[in-house]
Amino acid sequence: MSATTESSGTFSHIGYVLRGNPVTLLSFVMFAILIIAAVLGPLLVPYDPLASEAANALQPPSWEHWFGTDNLGRDVFSRVVTATRLDLMISISAVTLSLMAGSILGAVAGYWGGWLDAVLNRVMDTIMAFPLFVLAMGIVAALGNTVENIVYATAVINTPFYARLVRAEVNIRREAGFVHAAKLAGNSDIRVLAMHIFPNALPPMMVQMSLNLGWAILNAAGLSFIGLGVRPPTAEWGIMVAEGANFIVSGEWWLAVFPGLALMFAVFTFNLMGDGLRDIVDPRQRT
Amino acid sequence: MTLTRRELLKIGGGGVLGAGILPFLRVLPAAAATDDVIVGVHGQTINSLDIHRTGTNRPSYQVAVNCYDRLVSFGTMTTPDGGLSYDYSKIEPELAESWTISDDGLTMTFKLNPKAIFQDGSKVTAADVKWSFDRAVSAGGFPTVQMKAGGLVRPDQFTAVDDETFVITLDRSSKLTLPDLAVPVPYILNSRIAMANATAEDPWAMEYVHKNTIGSGAYKVVRWDPGQQLVYERNDAWTGGPLPGIKRLVLREVPSQATRRALITRGDAQLSFNIPNKDAKELSGDVKVFSTPIENSIYVVGVNHKFEPFQDPDVRKALAYAIPYEEIFQAAAYGRGNPMWGGSADIDSIDWPRKSPYSTNMDKAREHLEKSAFAKGFEVPFSISLSQTDWMEPTALLIQESLAKLGIKSEIDKIPGANWRTASLVEKRLPLHLEGFGGWLNYPCYYFFWAYKDGHLFNSSNYRNEEIETLVDETLHLAVDHPDYAPKVKRMFEIAFEDLPRIPLWQPALNVATNGATGYEYWFHRQLDARKLAKG
Amino acid sequence: MSPRLRGILFRIAQAIPVVIGVVIIGFVLTRALPGDPAVYFAGAAADATSIAEIRKTLGLDLPLPQQFLIYVGDLLRGDFGQSISTGQPVIADLASRLPASLELTLVALLLSCAIAIPLGVMAATRPGSLIDHACRVLVTAGVSLPTFFTGVVLIYIFYYLLGIAPSPLGRLDFIYIEPDRITGFYLIDSALAGDGETFLAALRQLVLPAITLALFTLAPIARMTRAAMLGALSADFVRTARAAGLTGRTVRYTYAFRNALLPVVTTLGMVFSFTLGANVLVEKVFAWPGIGSYAVEALVVSDYAAVQGFVLAMAFLFVALNLLIDVTYTLIDPRIGFEAS
């Protein structure tokens, strides 16, 4: 198998999909903007996102404060931009964790099967049978509301999806010809699993990941709405929307709308990317 | 407690109910609330109709007020903003027509109003009062503690001499006893109905009274859907005072404060109880807003004496000078209530709450911190309650920012409601936190009893000062006009401001908005007293 | 015993460990919550002795394994315990609140399907077209907004500014009396009672929260419809039908769509149970007396019995729903059997 032709083929295919699908192209551009905001945001913003100025509280958007100021006089624009890093970090680390845990569990269950598979399946069923958001709430409430615990809670509720996906992919392929061939060539089970079977599960996982990234951000926002989110005064979109939602009726719409739009932008990006990635990796849906 | 549609129609057919309540009228909600129905909204859940039951939460206390009578009540006065308030200085009859207190202050004899009847039509007798008082001192938990504050501890202190004469015997004379009879707890139940529903395991009929109102009060609860709504209906045979101006009060629970604001502004609700300070500031003008400073209550920064840096008096003073009081008062209280900083150092009166002698002064704060063993600053968690974030969060954020300038790093820790009481009041393990105790009985010594005495519930700072211990014990039952009272109380204030276990921020206000309702009255228990409500 | 019946029984047997797992995790999770229910239950101004007394009456002074056994024993007798925060038996709370949540979720899903399925079909018949992209952007935008935010914005616009929507005060405006309880679903109950006025009132209260939830559920349904339609349209039997000269419309709706329905139904099941758990936030915004807002309140005050009851009820629903879908599957499509291995 020649790596170069394989990858150039993939690239040309990606190029083909992107050309044929402007929405996917757009989503990649949006993703780039998010990454830039996350990396450079704190350096670019005009104000300290944490500095309050009580005399200047609840000012509508203006030239000095593009997105207005909040109830403590903090600059909403600076807070929205700075929050990008934390929000991306929460969702990416949560999804990565669940991806890893799910992959290992799913691969083991799918490859060896038997009682291991049965036990794992029931455990995953149990987690899925929980109302997921309430499970996340419970975990954060029990462990305390820190960023790490929000990440863990989000990871736990996402794990079953990956575990099932990987299990199914591995299960289909464990009797495949190339697996037998690899085994006959003297590879150990773990090596076969990791190097030969597992990579096949990656493409659908990428799709799932991208969709989950958006979901993870929404989940963190929901936790904030209940009051179990990130600690103040840290800027985070969910908590800003949640707190700002109380100000909408009194006319201070900018408190919730701008972080809400940022949140929507990020989730939108991940969802569109997920869709686009699906087109790339799933030939059946290729148009 | 359910009212079926048929029963309701039946009442309606009898001409008792306003037509607006009938389901088939095609009318706009605002117009539908006819002359005799008020819709009120609040953000909390009523979890019992019985204040004596263990686990009954604060919002439920209003049922005790509205559906039951006590022996005595407080008078009413007009507040500067034109609203009504209870009058702590006047004790008035409710079920008791008159009372006498023996010269030694140990025997109180009450004559019941002979016309007083329960909502089932039976006469209110001294036996009912005795049974109800016995219940309050035997139930355990909050009611028993509250009775104890007035020196009411054992059933043998209460005697029903005849149907209309009730006698209380006290172990010692106290100025707290009579006002304590006017708080919601010592309410009078219909003992006949209660006993008919009591069982061997449940001798006080807790299960029945939990779900049914069996009093003689101004209203009865005709419908209670926990977590959704409570419907009061006027008791037309009420003898405790002038009849309420409305037939029904529908009290809806609306968790979202934005929704509550929309409802009251649009007039779909005529009363919104306990609205946020911000709404109170912005809505006044559009709707009628009553902001009454809560008596005997102060929002404070609790500085826990169990924890190292705060054992140093200079650290506590540095803190008191570093707090940006005015910014907090504007950002968290929106100017509602009274400032509690920048008072004179000379203590000239026994008025409480009183302004502390501290105000924002970063130079003084630095001076004090440098004198202490923590000149370079320290790290401390700053705890606030998740269910009180409306004032605690902005306050904590502003203090956090200001302390950072002194090198004191704090991380804000939001603690969920259930854990907050345990952590702050029971275990008293929060080094730096916010607290908002208010005493029902309006005496400074009563406030100090709960908030400054060692081991007492609201002393979340683990404060102990021998002199305060003695002073509180000496003043608690002493009459206010006793010559020793004022000097002793002033001495308490002095020590409290010097030792600073609690750094006063401001006296909070209870905000209520009305839009089409009149007769709202402020009470120390901070719950809705609907007995004077009318449309208009 | 027929193999199919055996399959179904086997499937039910599979659900048992899940329920046991939920009981255990629910118990552990609640005990791990911070806070002491005895302190909360003892109320304001309670002293140490009364707290200890209450701890004893609640059975919280016993070691955890013993508490668990008692809990399981109560469950087996059908006793879900007493909620601290509402002061009612949990089972009564659930019975009164579950229909509210179910009604909201079902109406939202119906609305969502009515929009998402045609959108998905349209997108699939013209893949890559402007319609396809527009549909994708639209549904993705819907799923990208936090529901509580959408809810507040909708209230602000339609109730506060325009005054079109009724006041967001739960299931029924206060001037209407709730219909006699038959199913607990106000729409059904009022329709059964022949009370059109109440029916309309209940429907009007449902509109905003249902739209809020529907926006959020458009995406998975539309996506699955599109994918399933694409799959079906490229399948051999459709090509055969086309080759046999059947018109585009007949092929699309009679053959392809009917075959695409199966995966859509599965997705619907997933979306339903997910939405029922996730409408917590919408219920809070609209003062909807549902099971979700109940759970949130209970969780925040460490109301053990209520949280456990909620979790169990949801798990039962989830398990039952999946069973139902699986069983329906075998009935619809005889090719699918249960592996009774």
Label the pairing between strands B379-385 and B338-339. Answer: unpaired
Q: Residue B208: pLDDT above 90?
A: yes
Q: What is the mean pLDDT of residues C183-199?
A: 84
- Residue B500, phi-psi category: left (phi > 0), alpha (psi -120 to 50), beta (remainder): left
Of A155-164, A197-206, B327-336, B349-358, which range is least confident?
A197-206
Q: Which long-range contacts (CB under 8 A, 24 or more apart) does A115-124 make?
A: A117/A167, A120/A163, A120/A167, A121/A167, A122/C14, A122/C17, A122/C18, A122/C21, A123/C21, A124/A159, A124/A160, A124/A163, A124/A164
Q: Average of pLDDT values for B293-313? A: 93
Q: Does A233 touch chain B (CB under 8 A)?
A: yes
CATH of domain B33-64+217-291+510-536: 3.40.190.10
Taking the alpha carbons at both ends of chain C, their separation in whole angstroms is: 16
Average pLDDT over residues C47-70: 81
Question: Taking the CB of residue C322, how many other CB atoms lie within 10 A of it?
Answer: 21
Contact criterion met (CB < 8 Å) for A231 and B331: no
Chain C, window 172-201: residues with a beta carbon less than 8 angstroms from a chain A beta carbon: none
The mean pLDDT of B130-145, rounded to a whole number, is: 90
Element (H, E) at B162: strand B158-162
> Looking at CA atoms only, how far is residue B317 from chain C in angstroms?
30
Query: For chain B, which residues make up each domain, given as ranges?
Result: 33-64+217-291+510-536, 69-212, 299-507
CA-nearest of A82, A23, A20 to A51 is: A82
Region C90-109: mean pLDDT is 91
Which residues of C fall within a CB distance of 8 Å from B438?
A: none
Nearest Cα of chain C lies from the Cα of B24 at a distance, in angstroms, of: 6
Q: What is the DSSP pairing of strand B502-507 with strand B338-339?
A: antiparallel
Q: Say whether pLDDT at C180 is over 80.
A: no
| Comparison of pLDDT for C17 and C43, the residue scoring more | C17
B397 to chain A nearest CA, in Å?
A: 7
Grade residue B30 by pLDDT with cuts at 50, 70 and 90.
Answer: very low
Interface of C with B in 39-58 (CB under 8 A): 39-47, 50-51, 53-54
CA dihedral of residues B243, B245, B250, B252 (deg, nearest 10): -110
CATH topology of domain C94-300: MetI-like fold (1.10.3720)
Of A134, A135, A284, nearest in space to A207 by CA: A284
Report CA-CA distances (Å) from B249 to B1, B235, B244, B535, C170: 16, 12, 10, 11, 17
> pLDDT tens digits for A113-147?
788 888 888 888 888 888 778 888 888 888 887 88
Average pLDDT over residues B493-511: 95
CB contact under 8 A, B401 and A51: yes
| A-B contacts at Cβ under 8 angstroms | 60
The residues pairing with B291 across neighbouring beta strands, listed in sequence order, are: B511
Residue type, B82: G
Evaluate whether A212 touches A192 at the Cβ level (below 8 Å).
no
Residues of A in contact with B259 (CB under 8 A): 249
Q: Which of B226, B265, B418 sits opposite C37 (nearest CB)?
A: B418
Using 50, 70 and 90 to split pLDDT, how confident is the model at B82? confident
DSSP code per residue over C278-322? HTHHHHHHTT--SHHHHHHHHHHTT-HHHHHHHHHHHHHHHHHHH
Which residues of B are less than 8 Å from C39 in CB distance?
421-422, 426
Q: Which of A120, A165, A210, A218 to mutate to test the interface with C (most CBs of C within 10 A)?
A: A218
Asked whether the CA dihedral A143, A145, A149, A151 is positive or negative, the reply is positive
CA torsion sign for C182, C186, C190, C195 is positive
Q: Output the six-digit token pair for A287.
A: 């148009």
Min Cα–Cα distance to chain A from C180, Å: 30
Confidence check: pLDDT of C265 > 70: yes
Helix (H, G, I), strand (E, B) or coil at C175: coil
Q: Subunits with at least 3 CB pairs below 8 A relative to chain C?
A: A, B
CATH number, domain B69-212: 3.90.76.10
Asked if B255's CB is within 8 angstroms of C284's CB, the reply is: yes
Question: Which value does ipTM take for this structure?
Answer: 0.79
Residues of chain C with Cβ-Cβ distance to B420 below 8 Å are 35
Question: Of the candidates B21, B48, B418, which has its C-beta nearest C175's C-beta?
Answer: B21
Neighbouring residues of B74: CB distance < 8 A, sequence distance ≥ 6: B86, B87, B88, B90, B91, B92, B179, B182, B523
Amino acid at C242: R
C131-139 long-range Cβ contacts below 8 angstroms, 24+ apart? C132/C226, C133/A21, C133/A22, C133/A23, C135/C222, C135/C226, C136/A23, C136/A272, C136/A275, C137/A23, C137/A272, C138/C218, C139/C218, C139/C219, C139/C222, C139/C223
Closest partner residue to B331 among A71, A227, A233, by Cβ?
A: A71
Within an 8 Å CB–CB cutoff, is residue A145 touching chain B? yes
Q: Which other chains touch chain A, taking contact as 3+ CB pairs less than 8 Å apart?
A: B, C
Q: Is A227 on the interface with B (CB under 8 A)?
A: yes
Q: Is the pLDDT of residue B345 over 60?
A: yes
Contact residues, chain B, for A55 at CB < 8 Å? 327
Q: Provide φ and ψ at A231, rounded to 5°.
A: -70, 140
Share of chain C above pLDDT 90, in %: 8
What's the rounded mean pLDDT across residues B321-336?
Answer: 93
Please name the helix (run of DSSP H) or strand (run of DSSP E) that holds residue C12, with its range, or none. helix C3-32
Q: Which residues in chain C have Cβ-Cβ distances shorter than 8 Å to A164?
A: none
Q: What is the pLDDT of residue C126?
A: 81
Q: Where are the domains of chain C?
A: 3-76, 94-300
CA distance C143 to B114: 67
DSSP state of B482: S
What is the distance between the alpha carbons of residues B408 and B412, in angstroms, rounded to a whole number?
Answer: 13
More confident call, C50 vs B240 = B240
Q: Which of C144, C284, C300 sits opposite A264 (nearest CB)?
A: C144
Question: Is A51 in the B-facing interface, judged by CB distances under 8 Å?
Answer: yes
Q: Which of C96, C170, C300 lies closest to B386 in CB terms? A: C300
Q: Which two tokens stand for residue B431?
A: 């080094």
Contact C287, C168 (CB under 8 A): yes
Q: Give B260→chain A minimum CA distance, Å.
A: 10
- Given the structure tokens 């929009």, which residue do they identify? C115
Alpha carbons B422 and B418: distance in angstroms, whole number: 7
Please report residues of C whose CB lies closer than 8 A to that of A239. none
Confidence at residue C174, expressed as pLDDT on a 0 to 100 scale: 65
Across the interface, of B41, B145, B225, the residue whose CB is closest to C45 is: B145
Model confidence at B23: pLDDT above 70: no
When mean pLDDT is compared over A104-113, A173-182, C172-181, the highest value belongs to A104-113
* Cβ-defined contact of A52 to B258 (cutoff 8 Å): no
pTM of the model as a whole? 0.82
Across C170-198, average pLDDT:
80
For chain B, say whether C87 makes contact (Cβ under 8 Å). yes
For residue A123, the chain C residues in CB contact (below 8 A) are 21
Cβ neighbours of B327 in A, within 8 Å: 52, 54-55
Whether A138 and C33 lie within 8 Å, measured CB to CB: yes
- Comparing alpha-carbon positions, the chain B residue that sits nearest to A50 is B401
pLDDT, position C210: 93
Rounded CA gap, C99 and C172, in Å?
Answer: 14
In B, minimum Cα distance to A58 occurs at: B331
* Integer Cα distance of B528 and B520 in angstroms: 8
Using an 8 Å CB-CB cutoff, list chain A residues near B401. 50-52, 233
Range with top average pLDDT, A255-259, B180-184, B262-266: B180-184
Fold of B299-507: Dipeptide-binding Protein; domain 3 (3.10.105)
Average pLDDT over residues B308-325: 93
Q: What is the mean pLDDT of residues A103-112?
A: 86
What does the pLDDT read at residue B157?
95
Count, residues in chain C: 341
- Taking residue C249's Cβ as centre, other Cβ atoms within 10 Å add up to 8
Q: How many helices (H) and strands (E) does chain A have?
A: 11, 0
Which of A177-181, B326-330, C222-226 has the highest average model confidence (pLDDT)? B326-330
Question: Which pLDDT does position B91 carry in this prediction?
Answer: 93
Whether A134 sits inside 8 A of C21 (CB atoms) is no
Is residue C245 within 8 angstroms of chain B, CB to CB? no
